[in-house]
Structure 1
């Protein structure tokens, strides 16, 4: 029987280095594409320009994303994944099962903290604002976004928390998904519609979120 070949002690670290390098390249490509798509428009942005801005070869851009539409989809999906992670982190920070929420006043306070964290993270991010513009300008060429799991993940995560607080008697909710839509409309979406996100001050964001949560509690707080 042939002796087993000793494992190269550097193989695992080498593999990790390769994967880290690939992740770095993907991140650089997506950032470059997002910036150029917003600045020059998708049609006028060349793959050569994206590669040059990302400091990678054009072949690498094509290998990772296939074509320009695939690259645009990659930009939007990456932003969606970031949004979901931001939402889950805010839920864990303010609305988890073990959070000290025993009455409606405590729930309103927790929801304000949740909404402010979301608002300051999302609305204060130039990347998020850029991606929203890209989606609005290019929705017609990205039909798969309508059925992408990331399209419903944020609403589902918030709806689950709303249903939980209805179960413990703090909210009066028939449709948790509809209530989640109303919550978003009264907080994040309202803040976005007031003015461009990069012009919304921290104080204005906090006031908008607090007012929205108060309106939500008046509509859905258990009687």
Structure 2
């Protein structure tokens, strides 16, 4: 991906302008590809000047990263809300059967939310198509934040004797691999079947509990 650069410092900008730029960039990047989308086109679609786009995001690479990070932050909010809804301390989870039901509800809600999110489906496509130039994603905090949020809950249930694990972070990675990654990796997310996603999530949680559930 060629990079249109500017030496001017990136500034915070107004929230509504930033949101408009990100929405326009996401739509154009997905429709035409990052290489074939000009900063002029993004500015015109967002209703701002090209200078504003450069001032806010630095260059096209910075804009692409901002689109992906924005979607990742939204997904993290969704994840944490699903955790609060299904896995909170006061959720009434008292045995391994109850924990499996709660984890299944959590995984299914998260999976269907991801499937229904146009931001998520667009971001998956952008990451897949531009992986070679998005090396900074490997060390970005958002790359580990979802697993760490799940790991905190798994550690809680291990402390209560419902799970057997000395490494909640590894358990979270396994949980993710059996559910979200299995449901969406390598798939055209916007063509997924919600029922298929729920089946994978349900079966994945069952496999996870067979491996980690307290005996």
Same fold (TM over 0.5): yes
Per-residue deviation at 1:90? Answer: 0.6
**Counterparts of residues 61-80 of structure 1 (less than 5 Å):** 61-80=53-72
Show the counterpart of 2:190: 198
**Counterparts of residues 53-132 of structure 1 (less than 5 Å):** 53-132=45-124
1:95-143 residue CA offsets vs partner (Å, 9 max, x unmatched): 0111110001110110011101110111222221111121122223222
From 26, 29, 32, the equivalent of 2:21 is: 29
Per-residue deviation at 1:211? Answer: 1.0
1:209 and 2:201 are equivalent in the alignment: yes
Structure 1: 5+ residue stretches without partners: 1-18
Cα distance in structure 2, aligned partners of 1:142 and 1:96:
34
Kept in 1, the 8 Å contact 2:178–2:208? The answer is yes
Cα distance in structure 2, aligned partners of 1:114 and 1:48:
42
* More off after superposition, 158-167 vs 191-200: 191-200
Show the counterpart of 2:37: 45
From 108, 127, 142, the equivalent of 1:150 is: 142
Kept in 2, the 8 Å contact 1:125–1:198? The answer is no
- Give the aligned CA root-mean-square deviation in angstroms: 1.6
Show the counterpart of 2:159: 167
Per-residue deviation at 1:195? Answer: 4.0
Kept in 2, the 8 Å contact 1:95–1:161? The answer is yes
Cα distance in structure 1, aligned partners of 2:188 and 2:36:
24
* More off after superposition, 97-106 vs 121-130: 121-130
1:4-37 residue CA offsets vs partner (Å, 9 max, x unmatched): xxxxxxxxxxxxxxx9x92121111111111111
Show the counterpart of 2:9: none
Kept in 1, the 8 Å contact 2:115–2:194? The answer is no
Kept in 2, the 8 Å contact 1:124–1:197? The answer is no
Return the TM-score normalized by structure 1.
0.86
Kept in 1, the 8 Å contact 2:163–2:212? The answer is yes
Structure 2: 5+ residue stretches without partners: 1-11
Structure showing greater radius of gyration is 1
Q: Give the ranges of 4+ consecutive aligned residues of structure 1 lying more than 4 Å apart after TM superposition.
A: none
Cα distance in structure 2, aligned partners of 1:166 and 1:174:
8
The number of residues matched between the two structures is: 204
